A and B are shown apart, each in its own frame.
Chain A
Amino acid sequence: MVGYILTIEQKTQIQGVFYTEYQFFNCVQDINGVWFLLLSDEDKPEVAASEYAWTLNLPEGEYTPPPAPPFPPIE
């Protein structure tokens, strides 16, 4: 999955910020602790029309999720 790579400052700037009335940015860290913004094809036109269009010009990279936390065993 390809996403946009953020600096910590950029992540802080957009995390939780709404780009439409019903949609907001949620950034995540990859396996190396790098912050990513993962946008769907439907998100991109909405972001492009907002004041956060600059995020679409950020460098892109392949997102590798960190290992999932453990989930409880079977009863």
Chain B
Amino acid sequence: MLKLGLGIDKTTKKIAAFDADAQAFFNRVTAAGGTLTATEQTAVNTLVLELKGYSIWSSMKAIYPMVGASAAACAQNLVSASFTGSFSSGWTFASTGVTPNGVSAFMNTNLNPTVSINNANDGHLSYYSRTTSTGSFIEMGTIDGATAFDLVIKFSTVAGACINMVDTNVFTYTGTTRGLFIGSQNNTANVRKFFRDNTLIQTQTVAQNSQPNTIISVGARGPNFTSFGTNRECAFASIGNGLTDLQASDFYTNVQTFNTTLSRQV
């Protein structure tokens, strides 16, 4: 494996440089004591290029590609050196992703919506779940008093894109728990959208709250492990500003390509 941020262009057989943001991520992983395979590096680099090409990258505050099969590697934020995560005890790490134990495990992102997301009418969370499971789980997010900013893939028989709203409004969902789930609010007051893969599952119109002033967790509803930890394996997670319907669809395409390259798509 070449050490200077270079890869081999398969078409031209010439040495091609990695994207600068991708290389910076690789450097953070290495500095943390983690390692990535050449395939993982290529997949991450392609992901970054595609997200930039589809004008999605700038909406991202944190992307956790969950590559490297270690806490040190998976804690690193692809987007920047900010929002480096930390894992509680109770996670398993594998080439396919990271899996919380569902009762005590969470990842602290150090990301506070009030500080880091544009405004209360804006925001997204995404979680790529590789697990089919039943249970009362919330995959990621945070709650501050009555205001939630969380993603509910399937809590018993309900789901929700709970972006800056009271957690009293979810909708019936009996579909699969595998795939890329996105909860997004895109600068339209009261309107949130819940996507699975490239399908809009539900539009939720719910009274707007302000943003919670608490830290987002992955693997449970934060801050920390406030409640409802999940046991669904995570092969990608992101936090950021809201996405349009087109961006959400393109985002799924990019992330699915990423996970397919890593042979861990569902």
Q: Spell out A's residues near B (CB within 8 Å).
A: 1, 18-28, 36-43, 46-47, 63, 65, 68-69, 71-75
Contacts and interface: CB of A to CB of B under 8 A. Distances in A.
Given A21-B33, A42-B93, A75 B168 contact: yes
A71 B152 CA distance: 11
A69 B227 CA distance: 8
Contacts, number: 94
A68 B168 CA distance: 16
Interface size class of B (residues with CB under 8 A): 35 or more
Contacts of A65: 103
B170 A42 contact: no
Across the A-B interface, the 4 shortest Cβ-Cβ residue pairs: A26-B88, A72-B168, A28-B104, A75-B169
A73 B168 contact: yes
Contact of B90 (A21, A22, A26): A26
A64 B121 CA distance: 40
Nearest to A66: B103
A69 B72 CA distance: 32
6 contacts: A18-B86, A26-B105, A42-B91, A47-B89, A74-B170, A75-B206
A23 B87 contact: yes
A42 B100 CA distance: 12
Interface string B168-207: 1111100000000000000000000000000000001010
Interface in B62-99: 71-72, 75, 85-93
Contacts of B32: 21-22
